[in-house]
């Protein structure tokens, strides 16, 4: 890097983020997120783990075909099989990177790998050398780095660089470290490894103790020049360092952290919403940077200060992360042109005319129902439309009988492969009745792991946004739906999950109803 204070942002939402239980994505969704990450200015996109599954190999291959400005990275274990799979998946990439790793902590070497330290050391040399003969850009990681013996870490890092690694990643795999210790680890590497200047040092911090962002920034202060992170902090267990947080921390406190990135921060909010919509993982209201309440002020003292000078209680502007200040602009008298301009303002400048037209019609229908329309309502409408692209099952009619007397019943009409299918079912409550009807119309063995409802905006006429997670034979999908009627939103979410479940079934022909069951 020409600028010694330039920090590379390595996004692993599509790989480590997808490893969050229930956050699996299909290829179409991965391509959508990869495109958004490239537009955001991410330097390296880790697109997946090609050897892990046929789906991952296909996803990395397809991402490689469309991404031109960002480096596309594939993860591999320290084996020729994995490295060959990564190399094959990256063959179309304009800028490919193979990222290979092996555990180096005594705990992992003994109980997971069942290898001696010397055997691991030899595997580092063999795997990195093999990968380097296939690709010019090689990253090596010492898994469970923060629990690795320092001397052994230095020895393996030196060997990896000698073998051709151009980036060395130090993962806090289980989120065990704290900032002072993590800084000492990076400093020790710089002071001990003789060829350390031949590689970029990277951080990959998990958030089990809630300090992933702090550890990443401590690593940068100690000399690391790449941060591995995810949108919304998505990832294994408690997640990873959140991209939006590390980037805005460096931008906001540039006086103490004089580092720069290529991230277009004005797209952070849009990208956050996309990842949330695709994965079905809602962003907590008080989430830093992209949470709904990140720029909300309710206390009278705060409001008074904001009215006098926004800097009294805001350390960054909403616009700097892509949050619009306006809320009650659109209404039932708004036209297509104004609606399209609003979509551009909200960051939806790349959706097709058909999606815009359908979203506009749904917007007008909602405007007739709701007294006040908010930006969040429009976002929910567009997201609801976008996630339903290519669905072969859709809801035509829903009628529900609910109340204290019971039994609660649901009459459902679905369009499946352009044909109508009707059924009536009962259940323990209206939602249970709806889901029973859907199971009757679209038989499957999926288990409901999550049913979650939250209001998009305030008020009794607010749209409900529902997330549903289904798991079938090891395949997990998340469906979403929104509507002013919570029961309709619930049906839409379950149907969206069913559509994704069908896509996940290998060699399923969507043209035949028999393949749905």
Strands, E assignment, 390-430: 393-401, 408-416, 419-427
CA-CA distance, 287 to 269, in Å (whole number)? 12
C-alpha distances in Å from residue 303, one per residue of 320, 450, 457: 20, 37, 20
CA-CA distance, 86 to 441, in Å (whole number)? 41
pLDDT tens, the chain, 517 aa long: 568 899 999 999 999 998 887 777 889 889 999 999 999 999 999 999 999 999 899 999 999 999 999 999 999 999 999 999 999 999 999 999 999 999 999 999 999 999 999 999 999 999 999 999 999 999 999 999 999 999 999 999 999 999 999 999 999 999 999 999 999 999 999 999 999 999 999 999 999 999 999 999 999 999 999 999 999 999 999 999 999 999 999 999 999 999 999 999 999 999 998 999 888 888 988 999 998 888 776 556 665 665 677 777 788 988 899 886 544 457 777 788 878 877 877 777 777 788 888 888 888 888 888 766 777 788 778 877 666 656 789 999 999 999 988 889 999 999 998 899 999 999 999 999 999 999 999 999 899 998 999 888 777 778 888 989 898 887 788 888 889 899 999 999 999 899 888 877 643 443 443 344 3
- The DSSP bridge pattern shows strands 200-205 and 226-229 to be parallel
Task: Of 61, 67, 62, 66, give the one whose Cα is nearest residue 87.
Answer: 61
pTM, two decimals, is: 0.80
The three-state secondary structure class of 67 is coil
pLDDT at 119: 98
Alpha helices in 370-420 (DSSP H): 375-386
β partners of residue 465 = 454, 482
The two three-digit tokens of residue 69, written as one number? 């400005």
pLDDT at 306: 59
Give the DSSP letter of residue 109. I
The three-state secondary structure class of 371 is coil
CA-CA distance, 346 to 362, in Å (whole number)? 17
Tally of helices (H runs) and strands (E runs) in the chain: 16, 14
Q: How many C-beta neighbours within 10 Å does residue 172 have?
A: 29
CA-CA distance, 483 to 494, in Å (whole number)? 13
Task: Of 109, 202, 134, 124, give the one whose Cα is nearest residue 163.
Answer: 124
CA-CA distance, 362 to 382, in Å (whole number)? 9
Task: Of 329, 336, 365, give the one whose Cα is nearest residue 484.
Answer: 365
Q: Find the helix packing angle between 54-66 and 27-40, rounded to 10°.
A: 40
The three-state secondary structure class of 83 is helix
Strands, E assignment, 178-322: 200-205, 226-229
Number of residues that make up the chain: 517
CA-CA distance, 70 to 90, in Å (whole number)? 13
One-letter-per-residue 3-state SS of 204-271: EEECCCCCHHHHHHHHHHCCCCEEEEEHHHCCCCCCECEHHHHHHHHHHCCCCCCCECCCCHHHHHHH
The two three-digit tokens of residue 212, written as one number? 């992933």
CA-CA distance, 461 to 284, in Å (whole number)? 22
The three-state secondary structure class of 258 is coil
β partners of residue 100 = 76, 140
β partners of residue 415 = 394, 420
pLDDT at 508: 41
């Amino acid at each position: 890097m020409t600028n010694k204070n330039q920090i590379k942002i390595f996004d692993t939402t599509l790989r480590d983020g997808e490893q969050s239980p229930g956050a699996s994505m299909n290829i179409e969704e991965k391509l959508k997120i990869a495109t958004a990450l490239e537009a955001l200015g991410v330097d390296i996109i880790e697109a997946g783990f090609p050897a892990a599954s046929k789906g991952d190999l296909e996803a990395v291959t397809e991402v490689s075909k469309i991404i031109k400005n960002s480096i596309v990275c594939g993860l591999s274990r320290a084996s020729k099989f994995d490295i060959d799979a990564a190399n094959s998946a990256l063959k179309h990439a304009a800028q490919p990177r193979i990222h290979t790793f092996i555990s180096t902590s005594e705990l992992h070497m003994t109980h997971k790998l069942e290898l001696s330290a010397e055997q691991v050391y030899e595997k580092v040399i063999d795997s990195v050398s093999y990968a380097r003969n296939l690709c010019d850009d090689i990253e090596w990681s010492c898994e469970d780095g923060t629990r690795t013996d320092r001397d052994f870490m230095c020895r393996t890092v030196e060997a990896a660089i000698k073998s051709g690694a151009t980036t060395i990643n130090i993962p806090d795999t289980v989120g065990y470290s704290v900032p002072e210790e993590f800084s000492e680890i990076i400093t020790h590497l710089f002071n001990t490894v003789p060829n350390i200047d031949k590689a970029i040092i990277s951080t990959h911090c998990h958030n089990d103790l809630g300090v992933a962002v702090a550890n990443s920034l401590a690593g940068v202060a100690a000399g690391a020049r790449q941060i591995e992170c995810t949108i919304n902090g998505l990832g294994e267990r408690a997640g990873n360092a959140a991209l939006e947080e590390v980037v805005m921390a460096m931008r906001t406190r540039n006086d103490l952290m004089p580092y720069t990135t290529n991230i277009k921060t004005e797209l952070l909010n849009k990208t956050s919403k996309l990842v949330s919509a695709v994965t079905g993982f809602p962003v907590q209201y008080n989430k830093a940077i992209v949470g709904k309440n990140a720029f909300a002020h309710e206390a009278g003292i705060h409001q008074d200060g904001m009215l006098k000078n926004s800097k009294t209680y805001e350390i960054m502007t909403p616009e700097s992360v892509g949050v619009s200040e306006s809320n009650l602009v659109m209404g039932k008298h708004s036209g297509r042109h104004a609606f399209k301009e609003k979509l551009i303002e909200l960051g939806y400048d790349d959706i097709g005319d058909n999606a815009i037209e359908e979203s506009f019609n749904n917007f007008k229908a909602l405007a007739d129902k709701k007294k006040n329309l908010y930006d969040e309502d429009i976002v929910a409408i567009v997201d609801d439309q976008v996630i339903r692209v290519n669905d072969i099952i859709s809801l035509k009619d829903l009628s529900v009988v609910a109340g204290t007397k019971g039994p609660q019943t649901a009459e459902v009409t679905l369009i499946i492969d352009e044909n109508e299918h009707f059924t009536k079912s009962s259940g323990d409550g209206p939602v249970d009745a709806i889901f029973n009807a859907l199971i009757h119309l679209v038989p499957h063995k999926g288990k409901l792991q999550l049913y979650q409802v939250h209001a998009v905006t305030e008020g009794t006429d607010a749209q409900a946004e529902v997330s549903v997670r289904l798991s079938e034979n090891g395949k997990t999908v998340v469906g979403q739906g929104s509507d002013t009627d919570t029961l309709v939103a619930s049906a839409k979410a379950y149907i969206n999950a069913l559509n994704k479940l069908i896509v996940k079934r290998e060699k399923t022909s969507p043209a035949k109803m028999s393949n749905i069951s």
